[in-house]
């Protein structure tokens, strides 16, 4: 943690357990607004401490926690005046850039076994967690959710495409005489094909537009309910719309092709 304003704890403050503290950006904003918190006093339960430093903002962690919503006091101050005991429940260790975290984990585990007098084949009475393991777990979970969402989206597109194809086939059947008249007076196959493809694209694009609007409204409502920021990504929205339009081309081609290949004489006889 780095200090953005003020100072850090001195050695004498750490040894004596002085009632001083450094606060995060979120705490500073909630308690002091836009004013400077340096020199002010805050109360932690029964302890009143003086703010000597403002920590640099770090934002949310990978777990979604606000890393700026915290108050830091010297260890001895916490042990003597807040917890009332000298137990330390967790240690966080940083590794220099380029150093193997696996080697650091082994060293930490060895030192902890020595300090806690765990000898021989006894099981560790502590746990050493590497953030890489958490990152791998989160990555695996994210990939699984992405695959599931992709499968749901693929099924939705398939169902929508089949619906569009059925609608276009019904449209071709109902307009057989119209198609026959067009072909009889000189319309080319590619022109009939283009006509029904355009209709299929318009149909799918209109459905995609409605879906995008509903998705944006639902996302905005959920973000407001959950208290998380709503981020509009035009590229993603445009890609989703293009996918919906392409469904019209893929599934509308078969009905359009069948319409373009109708025999004009048989089409004119159709009732």
pLDDT of 225: 84
- The model carries a pTM of 0.52
pLDDT of 62: 63
pLDDT of 168: 85
Q: Quick: pLDDT tens for 238-264.
A: 888 888 888 888 888 888 888 888 877
**Domain range summary for the chain, segments of one domain joined by +:** 3-89, 91-129, 133-269
Q: Quick: pLDDT tens for 124-183.
A: 888 888 877 777 888 888 899 999 988 998 888 888 888 888 888 888 888 888 888 888
pLDDT of 193: 86
- Evaluate if residue 112 carries a pLDDT over 70: yes
- Please give the Cα distance from 22 to 256 (Å, whole number): 70
- Evaluate if residue 270 carries a pLDDT over 70: no
CA distances (Å), origin 230, targets 62, 104, 196, 210: 18, 39, 39, 19
Report the percentage of the chain scoring pLDDT > 90. Answer: 15
pLDDT of 21: 93
* Mean per-residue pLDDT, 105-126: 87
pLDDT of 71: 93
pLDDT of 263: 79
* Mean per-residue pLDDT, 93-114: 86
Contact yes or no for 142/127 (Cβ under 8 A): no
Contact yes or no for 129/101 (Cβ under 8 A): no
- Evaluate if residue 68 carries a pLDDT over 80: yes
- Evaluate if residue 50 carries a pLDDT over 90: yes
* Mean per-residue pLDDT, 35-63: 87
Q: Quick: pLDDT tens for 179-227.
A: 888 888 888 888 888 888 888 888 888 888 888 899 889 988 888 887 7
Residue 66 DSSP code: B
* Mean per-residue pLDDT, 4-25: 91
Report the mean per-residue pLDDT for the chain. Answer: 86
pLDDT of 189: 82
pLDDT of 271: 61
Residue 62 DSSP code: T
Contact yes or no for 4/57 (Cβ under 8 A): yes
pLDDT of 9: 92
- Evaluate if residue 265 carries a pLDDT over 80: no
- Residue 244, helix vs strand vs coil: helix
């Amino acid at each position: 943690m780095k200090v953005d304003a003020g100072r850090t704890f001195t050695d004498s403050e750490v040894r004596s357990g002085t009632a001083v503290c450094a606060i995060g950006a979120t705490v500073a904003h909630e308690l002091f607004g836009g004013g400077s918190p340096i020199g002010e006093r805050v109360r932690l339960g029964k302890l009143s401490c003086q703010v000597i430093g403002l920590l640099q903002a770090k934002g949310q962690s990978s777990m979604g926690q606000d890393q700026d919503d915290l108050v830091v006091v010297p260890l001895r101050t916490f042990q003597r005046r807040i917890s009332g005991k000298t137990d330390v429940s967790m240690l966080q260790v940083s590794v220099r850039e380029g150093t193997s975290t696996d080697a650091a984990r082994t060293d930490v585990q060895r030192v902890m076994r020595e300090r806690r007098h765990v000898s021989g084949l006894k099981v560790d009475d502590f746990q050493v967690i590497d953030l890489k393991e958490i990152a791998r777990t989160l990555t695996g979970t994210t990939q699984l959710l992405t695959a599931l969402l992709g499968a749901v989206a693929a099924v939705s597109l398939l169902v929508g495409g089949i619906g569009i194809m059925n609608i276009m086939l019904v449209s071709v059947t109902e307009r057989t005489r119209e198609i026959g008249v067009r072909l009889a007076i000189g319309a080319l196959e590619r022109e009939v094909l283009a006509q029904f493809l355009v209709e299929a694209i318009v149909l799918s694009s209109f459905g995609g537009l409605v879906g995008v609007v509903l998705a944006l409204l639902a996302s905005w409502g959920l973000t407001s309910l959950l208290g998380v920021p709503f981020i509009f990504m035009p590229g993603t929205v445009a890609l989703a719309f293009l996918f919906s339009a392409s469904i019209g081309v893929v599934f509308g081609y078969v009905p359009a092709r069948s319409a373009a290949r109708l025999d004009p004489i048989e089409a004119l006889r159709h009732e």
